[in-house]
Amino acid sequence: MTSLKPPAHTRTLKTIPEAFVFDVFGTVFDWRGTVSTYLERTIAQKLTRKTISENKKLALTAPDSLKIFCASFAQEWRDSYKQFVATRGSASQELGTEEEYTTIDTHHYRSLLDLFEKYGLLKLFSASEMYEISKTWHFLNPWEDSTEGISKLRELGVVSTLSNGNVRLLIDLGKSSGVTFDMVLSGQLWDGYKPHPKVYIGACEVLGVGDRGAWEVYKDIHSGSDDSGEEEWRRGERGKVAMVAAHIGDLRAAKKCGLTTIYIERPGEDDDREAGEKYIRDGEDWIDMWVTHEEGGILEAAKRLAELKEI
């Protein structure tokens, strides 16, 4: 799939953000390639001529049929996640109690069971085996530019995750891949999910940007300031944090909270291609940096920002 051509009027950053918070699935890590390959290998180990002939829900006799099925299965598994957070991450949705929050790990396991049942695969695996399969999201391969790109960004500012993935999942991703973050921030810390504003605002406050304490200091320094300008000031301060993502919907929500936005286009993140085309067609201009996959992804973003340091 060809990249979207960045709009001619894309903004150019003038200053280097103090911190970078990253979407993880699809932006830093190639979930599609990793998950589909793992599923293909794991399911192949369980299939026999007998189990194939008995399964009326699958047609796995043609060449590459298992590969094609696993790629489709991985996408369906991912789509169930997107639907899961879409119903829980809107600005109007508030979780009433801690018990209502569900980790992405739990969702991945439950949705895997549903899909295995749908395709007649449940009887091939024990409960413990299915649990291990559900944890493949802890061990995704990074895009080829991610490791070096994030390392370069760490020379410019604080780099953290900001993902709907739960904290343990994100820690495992970093350890298994060699991608090093300064911090691990997750919607789990606020019992919520992106694109809810509290996740973006909470991340900025943890990073010491635009929080209540900083506002009090600002008022002391600028005597005469009153609380009437607090929200505007705090929103402006959040521009010191850049949300980095391959999903325009994620970036749009972050921008509404005041964050700087860096778009890293990735192949196959099809859910946002229509959003990207609409962004260009409508002449929008709130994305602060746009990098196509062919241009070098995260590493290219780091190079562009490093040039600002030399000015």
Structure tokens at 200: 């973006």
Structure tokens at 49: 């001529």
- Do 89 and 55 contact (CB within 8 A), yes or no? no
Lowest mean pLDDT among 153-162, 216-225, 263-272: 216-225
Report residue 214's pLDDT band, with 50, 70 and 90 as the boundaries.
confident
Separation between Cα atoms, residue 242 and residue 258, nearest integer Å: 9
Separation between Cα atoms, residue 22 and residue 160, nearest integer Å: 6
Neighbours of 295 (CB within 10 A): 17
Q: Looking at the structure, tell me whether residues 152 and 293 fall in a common domain.
A: yes
Q: Looking at the structure, tell me whether residues 132 and 194 fall in a common domain.
A: no
Q: Looking at the structure, tell me whether residues 271 and 188 fall in a common domain.
A: yes
- Looking at 138, 154, 176, the residue that finishes a domain is 138
Task: Give domain status of residue 298, yes or no.
Answer: yes
Task: Give domain status of residue 267, yes or no.
Answer: yes
Q: Looking at the structure, tell me whether residues 232 and 148 fall in a common domain.
A: yes
Residue 8: its pLDDT value, please?
A: 58
Number of structural domains the chain divides into: 2
Residue 229: its pLDDT value, please?
A: 81
Residue 39 reports pLDDT greater than 60: yes
- Looking at 104, 138, 172, the residue that finishes a domain is 138
Give the CATH number for residue 226. Answer: 3.40.50.1000
What pLDDT digit, counting tens, does each position of 59-110 carry? 776 668 899 999 999 999 999 999 999 887 665 555 544 447 999 999 999 9
Q: Are strands 158-163 and 19-22 parallel, antiparallel or unpaired?
A: parallel
Q: Looking at the structure, tell me whether residues 196 and 302 fall in a common domain.
A: yes
- Look-up of token digits 């929080």: 211
Q: Looking at the structure, tell me whether residues 198 and 106 fall in a common domain.
A: no
**Better pLDDT: 251 or 226:** 251
Backbone torsions φ then ψ of 289, nearest 5 degrees: -150, 135
The stretch 214-219 carries a mean pLDDT of 76
Residue 91: its pLDDT value, please?
A: 57
- Looking at 76, 104, 138, the residue that finishes a domain is 138
pTM of structure: 0.90
Q: Give the range of the structural domain holding residue 271, as residue numbers without chain letter.
A: 19-30+140-310
Read out DSSP for the chain? -PPPPPPTT-----S--SEEEE--BTTTB-HHHHHHHHHHHHHHTT--HHHHHH-TT----STTHHHHHHHHHHHHHHHHHHHHHHTTSSTT----SGGG---HHHHHHHHHHHHHHHTT-GGGS-HHHHHHHHGGGGSPPBPTTHHHHHHHHHTTSEEEEEESS-HHHHHHHHHHH----SEEEEGGGGT--TTSHHHHHHHHHHTTSS-HHHHHHHHHHSTT--GGGHHHHHHHHGGGEEEEES-HHHHHHHHHTT-EEEEE--TT-GGGHHHHHHHHHTT----SEEE-TTTTHHHHHHHHHHHHHH-
Of 121, 44, 112, nearest to 78 by C-alpha is 112
Q: Looking at the structure, tell me whether residues 25 and 37 fall in a common domain.
A: no
Task: Give domain status of residue 202, yes or no.
Answer: yes
What pLDDT digit, counting tens, does each position of 137-190 carry? 999 999 999 999 999 999 999 999 999 999 999 999 999 999 999 999 999 999
Q: Looking at the structure, tell me whether residues 107 and 216 fall in a common domain.
A: no
Q: Looking at the structure, tell me whether residues 224 and 124 fall in a common domain.
A: no
Residue 6: its pLDDT value, please?
A: 64
Residue 97: its pLDDT value, please?
A: 47
